[in-house]
Structure 1
Amino acid sequence: MNQHELIEKASREVAQNKNTVESDPYRLQFHIMPPVGLLNDPNGFIQFEGVYHLFYQWNPFETSHGSKFWGHYTSTDLINWEMKPIALAPSEWFEKNGCYSGSAVEHEGKMVLFYTGNVKDENDNRETYQCMAISDDGITFEKKGPVIHLPEGYTAHFRDPKVWKKDDTWYMVLGAQSVDEQGKVVLYSSSDLKTWNFHGDITGSEMNGLGSFGYMWECPDMFELDGKDVMLVSPQGLEPEGDLYQNLFQAGYFVGKLSYDTPFYKHGTFTELDRGFDFYAPQTTVDEKGRRLLFAWMGITDENEKYQPTIKKGWIHAMTLPRVLSLKGEQVYQQPVEELQQMRKDEVSYDDVQIRTIDVTLKGIEGTSLELLLEEIQCENGSFEIRFRGDARFIFSEKEQKMSLYRKSFKDGSLESRHCQIDEINKLQIFLDTSSVEIFVNDGAEVFTARYYPEVENESITFSADTMVHFQLKKWNLEHSKLNKGK
Structure 2
Amino acid sequence: MNIMTEWTREERYQRIEDVDTDYFKTLKQQVDQSKFRQQFHIQPETGLLNDPNGLIFYKGKYYVSHQWFPLGAVHGLKYWYNYTSDDLINFKAEGPILNPDTKYDSHGVYSGSAFEYNGHLYYMYTGNHRDNHWQRHASQMIARLKEDGSVEKFPKPVISQQPEGYTSHFRDPKVFKYGEKYYAIIGAQNNDQQGRLLLYNTEDIINWHYLGEINTELDDFGYMWECPDYFNVDNQDVILICPQGIEPKCDQFNNIYQSGYILGKFDIEKLTYEHENFVELDNGFDFYAPQTFLDEKGRRVLIGWMGLPEIEYPTDNEGWAHCLTIPRVLNVENGQLKQRPYPALEKLRHNKETALGYANKFTRKLHPYEGKQYELIIDILDNDATEVYFELRTSKTSSTLIAYNKRENKITLDRSDSGLLPTNVEGTTRSTILETPLKQLQIFVDTSSIEIFCNDGERVLTSRIFPTEDALGIKTSTESGQVYLQFTKYDLKDEHK
> Taking structure 1 as reference, are residues 414 and 135 closer, same or farther at Cα in structure 2, changes over 3 Å only?
closer
> Taking structure 1 as reference, are residues 138 and 443 closer, same or farther at Cα in structure 2, changes over 3 Å only?
farther
> Which amino acid in structure 1 is aligned with residue 263 of structure 2?
V
- For 2:351 and 2:424, locate their aligned partners in 1 and report how far apart those are by CA, in whole Å: 37
- For 1:10 and 1:58, locate their aligned partners in 2 and report how far apart those are by CA, in whole Å: 16
Q: In structure 2, what is the equivalent of residue 41 of structure 1?
A: 51
CA contact 2:146–2:152 (8 Å) conserved in 1: no
Verify: 1:372 aligned to 2:380, yes or no.
Answer: no
- For 1:233 and 1:411, locate their aligned partners in 2 and report how far apart those are by CA, in whole Å: 25
> Which amino acid in structure 1 is aligned with residue 437 of structure 2?
E
Q: In structure 2, what is the equivalent of residue 476 of structure 1?
A: 490
For 1:159-190, what per-residue CA distance to the aligned partner results, in whole angstroms no more than 9, with x for missing partners? 00000112211011000000111100111111
Residue 301 of structure 1: how far off its partner (Å): 1.1
CA contact 2:110–2:126 (8 Å) conserved in 1: yes
Moved more, 411-420 or 277-286: 411-420
> Which amino acid in structure 2 is aligned with residue 255 of structure 1?
L
Residue 378 of structure 1: how far off its partner (Å): 2.6
SS of corresponding position for 2:366: coil
> Taking structure 1 as reference, are residues 415 and 393 closer, same or farther at Cα in structure 2, changes over 3 Å only?
farther
Q: In structure 2, what is the equivalent of residue 158 of structure 1?
A: 170
For 1:94-151, what per-residue CA distance to the aligned partner results, in whole angstroms no more than 9, with x for missing partners? 1111100000001112110000011122333111100000113383100113000221
> Taking structure 1 as reference, are residues 192 and 414 closer, same or farther at Cα in structure 2, changes over 3 Å only?
closer
> Taking structure 1 as reference, are residues 235 and 10 closer, same or farther at Cα in structure 2, changes over 3 Å only?
farther
CA contact 2:359–2:484 (8 Å) conserved in 1: yes
Moved more, 259-268 or 101-110: 259-268
- For 2:195 and 2:490, locate their aligned partners in 1 and report how far apart those are by CA, in whole Å: 44
> Taking structure 1 as reference, are residues 468 and 235 closer, same or farther at Cα in structure 2, changes over 3 Å only?
same
CA contact 2:349–2:490 (8 Å) conserved in 1: yes
Residue 405 of structure 1: how far off its partner (Å): 0.5
Residue 15 of structure 1: how far off its partner (Å): 4.1
Verify: 1:50 aligned to 2:86, yes or no.
Answer: no
For 1:375-411, what per-residue CA distance to the aligned partner results, in whole angstroms no more than 9, with x for missing partners? 2443225101111223311100002221100113333
* TM-score under structure 2 length normalisation: 0.92
Q: In structure 2, what is the equivalent of residue 116 of structure 1?
A: 126
Verify: 1:26 aligned to 2:57, yes or no.
Answer: no
> Taking structure 1 as reference, are residues 69 and 11 closer, same or farther at Cα in structure 2, changes over 3 Å only?
farther
- For 1:239 and 1:329, locate their aligned partners in 2 and report how far apart those are by CA, in whole Å: 28
Q: In structure 2, what is the equivalent of residue 313 of structure 1?
A: 318
Verify: 1:283 aligned to 2:320, yes or no.
Answer: no
Q: In structure 1, what is the equivalent of residue 250 of structure 2?
A: 242
Verify: 1:269 aligned to 2:294, yes or no.
Answer: no
- For 2:337 and 2:180, locate their aligned partners in 1 and report how far apart those are by CA, in whole Å: 28
Residue 225 of structure 1: how far off its partner (Å): 0.8
> Taking structure 1 as reference, are residues 359 and 410 closer, same or farther at Cα in structure 2, changes over 3 Å only?
farther
CA contact 1:14–1:35 (8 Å) conserved in 2: no
For 1:403-450, what per-residue CA distance to the aligned partner results, in whole angstroms no more than 9, with x for missing partners? 100113333999611111124100110000010000000011100000
- Matched ranges for 1:334-373 at <5 A: 334-350=339-355, 352-373=356-377
Q: In structure 2, what is the equivalent of residue 324 of structure 1?
A: 329
- For 2:275 and 2:211, locate their aligned partners in 1 and report how far apart those are by CA, in whole Å: 18
SS of corresponding position for 1:137: coil
For 1:179-220, what per-residue CA distance to the aligned partner results, in whole angstroms no more than 9, with x for missing partners? 1111001111110111111111114xxx41x34200000000
Stretches of structure 2 that go unaligned for 5 or more consecutive residues are: 1-13
Q: In structure 2, what is the equivalent of residue 463 of structure 1?
A: 476
- For 2:89 and 2:446, locate their aligned partners in 1 and report how far apart those are by CA, in whole Å: 14
Moved more, 315-324 or 259-268: 259-268
- For 1:150 and 1:42, locate their aligned partners in 2 and report how far apart those are by CA, in whole Å: 23
Q: In structure 1, what is the equivalent of residue 304 of structure 2?
A: 296
- For 2:338 and 2:447, locate their aligned partners in 1 and report how far apart those are by CA, in whole Å: 26
- Matched ranges for 1:47-196 at <5 A: 47-137=57-147, 139-144=149-154, 145-148=156-159, 149-196=161-208
CA contact 2:50–2:323 (8 Å) conserved in 1: yes
The partner residue of 2:240 within 214, 218, 232 is: 232
> Which amino acid in structure 2 is aligned with residue 425 of structure 1?
L
* TM-score under structure 1 length normalisation: 0.93
CA RMSD, Structure 1 to Structure 2 (Å): 1.9
Q: In structure 1, what is the equivalent of residue 387 of structure 2?
A: 383
For 1:248-280, what per-residue CA distance to the aligned partner results, in whole angstroms no more than 9, with x for missing partners? 100000111111211222211100000000000
SS of corresponding position for 1:425: coil
CA contact 2:16–2:70 (8 Å) conserved in 1: no
Q: In structure 1, what is the equivalent of residue 404 of structure 2?
A: 396
- For 1:298 and 1:437, locate their aligned partners in 2 and report how far apart those are by CA, in whole Å: 10
Residue 364 of structure 1: how far off its partner (Å): 1.8
- For 1:28 and 1:55, locate their aligned partners in 2 and report how far apart those are by CA, in whole Å: 17
Q: In structure 2, what is the equivalent of residue 213 of structure 1?
A: 221
> Taking structure 1 as reference, are residues 301 and 413 closer, same or farther at Cα in structure 2, changes over 3 Å only?
closer
> Taking structure 1 as reference, are residues 234 and 358 closer, same or farther at Cα in structure 2, changes over 3 Å only?
farther
> Which amino acid in structure 2 is aligned with residue 344 of structure 1?
R
CA contact 1:188–1:196 (8 Å) conserved in 2: yes
CA contact 1:52–1:78 (8 Å) conserved in 2: yes
CA contact 1:231–1:255 (8 Å) conserved in 2: yes
The partner residue of 2:209 within 197, 211, 232 is: 197
SS of corresponding position for 1:364: strand
Residue 314 of structure 1: how far off its partner (Å): 1.1
- For 1:138 and 1:187, locate their aligned partners in 2 and report how far apart those are by CA, in whole Å: 33
SS of corresponding position for 1:214: coil
CA contact 1:7–1:89 (8 Å) conserved in 2: no
SS of corresponding position for 2:97: coil
> Which amino acid in structure 1 is aligned with residue 78 of structure 2?
K
The percentage of counterpart residues that share the same residue type is 40
CA contact 1:85–1:139 (8 Å) conserved in 2: no
Residue 36 of structure 1: how far off its partner (Å): 0.3
- For 1:455 and 1:387, locate their aligned partners in 2 and report how far apart those are by CA, in whole Å: 15
- For 2:469 and 2:212, locate their aligned partners in 1 and report how far apart those are by CA, in whole Å: 51
